[in-house]
Amino acid sequence: MDKKFDVIIVGTGATGLYAALNLPEDINALLVSKKELTLSNSSLAQGGVAAVLDTVHDSYKLHITDTLIAGKYKNTLDAVEKLVTEGPSDVLNIKELGVDFDLNEDGTMCKTLEAGHSRHRIVHHKDSTGKAIVDALIEVVKTRKNITILDNCLVYAIDKVLNGFYVSVVKDGESKTYGCNFCLLATGGIGRVYKYTTNSAIATGDGIAFAYMMGAKIKHLSRIQFHPTAFAAEKDRERFLISEAVRGEGAVLLNCEGRRFASDYDSRGELAPRDVVSNAVIRESIKTHSEKFYLDITHKPAEFVKNRFPMIYERCLEEGVDITVDKIPVFPCQHYLMGGIDVDTNSETSIEGLFAAGECSHTGVHGANRLASNSLLEALVFSRTAANVMTERLRKERKPLGRQPLKKPIEGKALPHGYRSQIREILQDTYFVLPKPEKAEESYNKVEQILSELVSDDFAVTSDYVEARSIAIVASIILEEFKEGIK
């Protein structure tokens, strides 16, 4: 063991950063980032954070109801209540930590409307709220003497032992192992399991794979959200999001004929929950024999659009689209995961001392479909909870770690090309917006064959290998759930 920490946090999005900031100064923590600190799904979050900050015009009950409706009433109610009632104080806390939320003239936070919400309750920083949160939290984390940061560091194994864990990493070609009494997985989503996704390049489900290999319970991994309005780039695998907030500010969705159609499928039209709108787009695509769809906000004043959505405006310009005068080409793609590592309301997994929070976890708050802008709120509430619980237990007793297991050598055979591409093609074809039950068995068997090859051969421990293994494990679980659900 190279060094022991009280807590090791794997992942540096909003979840990992906020958890670290909620640990008191007498608890030493290691914060591990696969790439640079700023690269995470949190940084890509555009719309904002949903929170009831005005109890005169809004209420916890309304936010809870909106969350349950969007989640098809498959949510875990006590987790939803915790999210909604505790979340506002966390939002106010990160504002105090330096997050630059947009403000009204009277100093109150601006609130916008997004699909599925019955009130204007989404606070934001223009159209790059996630980046504003992550950037601000990083600056505070860097000032904390009890937090050690390891960036560009690949975690390749986590071993459960008596009273804690050993986390093995590769940094600059060198393997090291760190011990801890408690481990928090904050590794984000699984977007790279799909051919097209809004997720960052590091969203390969590593934390879910580590938890699964340790024997933790994984739940509802097949509950995947496809966002209806990702920019329909011709070639890019990573498709940037055209935020829900654009429709909240009045953008309309058009088919290949230039006709609004969302209301044909649901009375809420463009402001129906994401899964409803995504289904409408795919069904309309089948009906019109076309994948050409557009989001149109050109009826709004150009200066309003540029000021409200500066990042989207600039990003679309790079693709040759001026959203003040041009319609934005859009199409659904993988966006978010509602399932994951199953946790209780303390954010603890089925393995004692192992915690998970954020998108890699299954708290049950989202049910079968996430309500817009509840994700950053979940990251804050449940990461702070994890930090508080770990702190409470460490204050009672710091126990010595059990024996360190033998480390697998990181040298080995080169990984053949193509494993990840094969899996992405399989998932994109079999389990997209309208899944194909007739392909479930065959697709599952193909992924299982790839996984068996990955774990049975002695491949060198590289980021390509670890990510391929994670993607294979995640895809296998998704397709197994899909297959079992058909029976």
* Catalytic site positions: 274
In sequence order, what are the residues at sequence separation of 6 or more whose Cβ sits closer than 8 angstroms to the Cβ of residue 329?
Answer: 231, 232, 292, 293, 294, 321
- Exposed/middle/buried for residue 18 (C-beta within 10 Å: 0-12, 13-18, 19+): buried
Contact criterion met (CB below 8 Å) for 377 and 49: yes
Contact criterion met (CB below 8 Å) for 446 and 431: no
CA separation for the pair 131, 99 (Å, rounded): 10
CA separation for the pair 111, 47 (Å, rounded): 11
Alpha helices in 35-128 (DSSP H): 41-44, 60-70, 77-96
Taking CA atoms, 470 is separated from 72, 202, 218, 273, 450, in Å, by: 29, 11, 14, 30, 12
In sequence order, what are the residues at sequence separation of 6 or more whose Cβ sits closer than 8 angstroms to the Cβ of residue 191?
Answer: 41, 197, 198, 199, 200, 203, 334, 335
- The angle, 0 to 180 degrees and rounded to 10, between the axes of the packed helices 14-21 and 375-396 is 40
Number of C-beta neighbours around residue 212 at 10 A? 19
Taking CA atoms, 165 is separated from 9, 404, 473, in Å, by: 12, 9, 21
Residue 69: CA atoms inside 13 Å, Cβ hemisphere, count?
Answer: 16
**Secondary structure class of 14 (helix, strand, coil):** helix
Taking CA atoms, 319 is separated from 229, 243, 333, in Å, by: 16, 17, 18
Contact criterion met (CB below 8 Å) for 330 and 228: yes
Phi and psi, residue 263, nearest 5°: -70, -15
Which of 126, 187, 170, 125 has its CA nearest to residue 2?
Answer: 170
Phi and psi, residue 306, nearest 5°: -65, -40
Q: Which residue has the tokens 């933790």?
A: 216
Question: Residue 415: left (phi > 0), alpha (psi -120 to 50), or beta?
Answer: beta
